[in-house]
Amino acid sequence: MGRWMKPEVYPLMAAMSFVTGMCIFQLTRNVLLNPDVRINKAHRTTAVLENQEEGEKYAEHSLRKFLRTRPPEVMPTVNRFFTDNK
């Protein structure tokens, strides 16, 4: 592997692997859990779905509920360090 891949490429490979994993996760989540995606032939014949509860459950997942309780800061410690007057 050392002959084909230089050490300078490792961070790029790590970042690209992470992003690819996130894309695969999101696509899989949408295909399997999204109430608007209909794979089954019986469900595809229905023109209008009456599944508001299922859509609400899909949209309000646990990560979104958790992040709603958190302050909208990326790095709170760094923000406090630069904004606090000592």
Each residue of 3-43: pLDDT tens digit? 777 888 899 999 999 999 999 999 998 888 887 777 777 77
- pLDDT tens digits along 43-63: 777 766 777 888 888 888 888
The predicted pLDDT at position 70 comes to: 86
Domain boundaries, the chain: 7-83
Contact between 36 and 30 under an 8 Å Cβ cutoff? The reply is: no
DSSP label at 62? Answer: H
Query: Residue 84 burial (CB < 10 Å; 0-12/13-18/19+)?
Result: exposed
Sign of the torsion angle spanned by Cα atoms 76, 79, 84, 86: positive
| This model's pTM is above 0.75 | no
Are 61 and 68 spatial neighbours (Cβ–Cβ below 8 Å)?
Answer: no
